Amino acid sequence: MSNYQSAIEAVKAIKEKAGSSWDVINPESVARMRTQNRFKTGLEIAQYTADIMRKDMAAFDADKTKYTQSLGCWHGFVGQQKMISIKKHFNGQTDRRYLYLSGWMVAALRSEFGPLPDQSMHEKTSVASLVAELYTFLRQADARELGGLFRQLDAATTESEKAAIQDQIDNHVTHVVPIVADIDAGFGNAEATYLMAKQMIEAGACALQIENQVADEKQCGHQDGKVTVPHADFHAKIRALRHAFLELGIDNGIIVARTDSEGAGLTKEIAVVKEPGDSGDIYNSFLDVEEIDVADMAEGDVCFNRDGKLVRPKRLPSGLYQFRQGTGHERCVFDCIGALNAGADLLWIETAVPTVHEIAGMMNDVRKVHPDAKLVYNNSPSFNWTLNFRQQTYDTMVEEGKDVSAYDRANLMSAEYDDTELSAIADERTRTFQADTAREANVFHHLITLPTYHTTALSVDNLAKEYFGEQAMLGYVKNVQREEIRQGIACVKHQNMSGSDMGDDHKEYFAGENALKAGGAKNTSNQFN
């Protein structure tokens, strides 16, 4: 018996117990609604997706070609359309394809304060709200797709047709996939981190990404002015995340520990040292200090003992302490090893440029201690990918003794180089970057943090340019609607996408022949059949 038929029989049994007042309840209608609503709570989603991620992590350990990917989505509709597209283009499957929830985009696009920089100034609850919103839209995509199959089942005229559709229903692939969700630096102390984590997990998040910046000084990973915290502070927040997962029963929840140390030159605190060589001592060893005598101490100076000598760390007027130049690599490796020791599952290293050997260099050092250490890498729009990879290709050509006289390294972004040999090589290196870093640097998950911020801006610009210009209505018809039809974009029937047909189904379930349906001969959506 199929899952759908089993659901019908289960509802029949419930109906019989309820008595005559339930005579008008159709078990088949209820079974359809139950099938369309596979996940009842966010915690069900969190557990389901955590299991997927853990399975994918094990598969990656065995085969480095099986890395995972995601795109950052700032609205439920964006995430929904992404997963519908993936199912359409990849044989109805969603394997190894996730969603990313970007704190940057929450700040820029979802804050009640209006557009904000990526500095943890947006409302704490807005992140969990977006997790819930994304899963609401993904569940609706399931309901819409299954609703279409049920209507096909009703219209089928042969047993073979019915059997084929029934098989699609019983083996339906959900649009619900893991979300890697950005909790920034925890929005406060460890308790605040724990409370926010609970909200995010209850909304469905199975993977939480947290960074080692000071919560109230947080900056985007690709900007200046980043301030890190001693390991004791960061590890307390990692443990807060783990406790939140365990409290809610998601025992295999995933923690992604991000370090911004490669580009962060400042710290707010001198770490507490309990014994020589501990994490606090190592953290302090990276500080930029000068050896002084007691007599040289000025009023208000902060000094400490290092190897029996009195040293004074360089302190900015803001009160922040400065690390030595050139220590970013070492600090990143130190951070990563410490985070894994504290219970993190995956690592995230922010780099200045997307360079395979640089990422691999840091991960190779980490893997000397933790051989299975896996990385989440931000394929960030903050990088000028074209320029970076053209410059890397230029440098390789120079090393190989090739003639580069036709190129100006400082001006390689210029369109005049678009059809050159250098550009073709650079584009191929860009194309294989994910596979290369998965193989060379153990990058398990590749994401683009805010691509849909840029695609929205680009598409609106293209439409506005045409619609408000000489093309007028043709600007929309030719470049949007006609392309939707040609490419099979389901949203061309926007009423259907918004849930109108599902609403009609429900009206029929609830009111029978009295149902006032939106679908019918006069519905203009029929023009797109």
- Is 96 a residue whose pLDDT tops 90? yes
What pTM does this model have? 0.94
Asked whether residue 478 is assigned to any structural domain, the reply reads yes
Q: Which residue has the tokens 């299975």?
A: 372
Domain encompassing residue 183: 42-275+327-399+427-458
- Is 13 a residue whose pLDDT tops 90? yes
Same domain, yes or no: 201 and 236 = yes
User: Positive or negative, the Cα torsion across 479, 481, 487, 489?
Assistant: positive
Query: What is d(CA 120, CA 225) in angstroms, rounded to the nearest whole number?
Result: 14
Same domain, yes or no: 497 and 445 = no
**DSSP assignment of 56-112:** HHHHHHH-TT--EEEEE-SSHHHHHHHHHHHHHHTTT--TTEEEEE-HHHHHHHS-T
Confidence of residue 36 (pLDDT cuts 50, 70, 90): very high
Mean pLDDT, rounded, for 299-311: 92
Which of the pair, 63 or 523, is modelled with greater confidence?
A: 63
Query: What is d(CA 358, CA 335) in angstroms, rounded to the nearest whole number?
Result: 16
Confidence of residue 141 (pLDDT cuts 50, 70, 90): very high
Among candidate residues 208, 158, 149, the one with its CA nearest the CA of residue 184: 208
Among candidate residues 334, 233, 236, the one with its CA nearest the CA of residue 277: 334
Q: What is the 3-state secondary structure (H, E, C) of 117-177?
A: CCCCCCCCHHHHHHHHHHHHHHHHHHHHHHHHHHHHHHHCCCHHHHHHHHHHHHCCCCCCC
Asked whether residue 491 is assigned to any structural domain, the reply reads yes
pLDDT number for residue 132: 98
**DSSP assignment of 355-366:** -HHHHHHHHHHH
Same domain, yes or no: 199 and 237 = yes
Query: What is d(CA 175, CA 83) in angstroms, rounded to the nearest whole number?
Result: 6
Query: What is d(CA 72, CA 453) in angstroms, rounded to the nearest whole number?
Result: 9
Q: Which residue has the tokens 């301030």?
A: 227
- The number of domains in the chain is 2
pLDDT number for residue 165: 96
Q: In percent, how much of the chain has pLDDT > 90?
A: 84
Query: What is d(CA 205, CA 130) in angstroms, rounded to the nearest whole number?
Result: 10
Same domain, yes or no: 450 and 476 = no
Q: Which of 113-122, 203-212, 222-231 holds the top average pLDDT?
A: 203-212
pLDDT number for residue 220: 67
Asked whether residue 215 is assigned to any structural domain, the reply reads yes
Asked whether residue 49 is assigned to any structural domain, the reply reads yes
Same domain, yes or no: 360 and 226 = yes
pLDDT number for residue 172: 96
- Is 223 a residue whose pLDDT tops 60? no
pLDDT number for residue 179: 98
Mean pLDDT, rounded, for 226-231: 90
- Is 1 a residue whose pLDDT tops 70? no
Instruction: Convert the pLDDT of each residue in 179-195 to its tens digit.
Output: 999 999 999 999 999 99
The one catalytic residue among 73, 206, 220, 303 = 220
Same domain, yes or no: 151 and 231 = yes
| Strand intervals (E) in 226-297 | 227-228, 254-259, 266-267, 289-291
Same domain, yes or no: 360 and 436 = yes
Same domain, yes or no: 96 and 166 = yes
Asked whether residue 6 is assigned to any structural domain, the reply reads no
Q: Which two tokens stand for residue 468?
A: 């408000």
Mean pLDDT, rounded, for 334-346: 97
pLDDT number for residue 214: 85
Asked whether residue 529 is assigned to any structural domain, the reply reads no
pLDDT number for residue 82: 98
Same domain, yes or no: 390 and 349 = yes
- Is 398 a residue whose pLDDT tops 80? yes
Instruction: Convert the pLDDT of each residue in 475-505 to its tens digit.
Output: 999 999 999 999 999 999 999 999 999 998 9
- Is 367 a residue whose pLDDT tops 60? yes
Same domain, yes or no: 201 and 331 = yes
Confidence of residue 2 (pLDDT cuts 50, 70, 90): confident
Instruction: Convert the pLDDT of each residue in 428-472 to its tens digit.
Output: 999 999 999 999 999 999 999 999 999 999 999 999 999 999 999
- Is 217 a residue whose pLDDT tops 80? no
- Is 107 a residue whose pLDDT tops 90? yes
Three-class DSSP category at 485: helix
- pLDDT averaged over every residue in the chain: 94
Asked whether residue 353 is assigned to any structural domain, the reply reads yes
Phi-psi region of 485 (alpha: psi -120 to 50; beta: other; left: phi over 0): alpha
Number of residues that this document lists for the chain: 529
pLDDT number for residue 222: 57
CATH number at residue 384: 3.20.20.60
Asked whether residue 191 is assigned to any structural domain, the reply reads yes
Same domain, yes or no: 353 and 501 = no
Same domain, yes or no: 348 and 495 = no
pLDDT number for residue 221: 55
Three-class DSSP category at 444: strand
Amino acid symbol at 493: K
Which of the pair, 377 or 223, is modelled with greater confidence?
A: 377
Query: What is d(CA 404, CA 361) in angstroms, rounded to the nearest whole number?
Result: 28
Indicate the pairing of strand 321-322 with strand 266-267.
antiparallel
pLDDT number for residue 520: 81
Annotated catalytic residue 336:
no
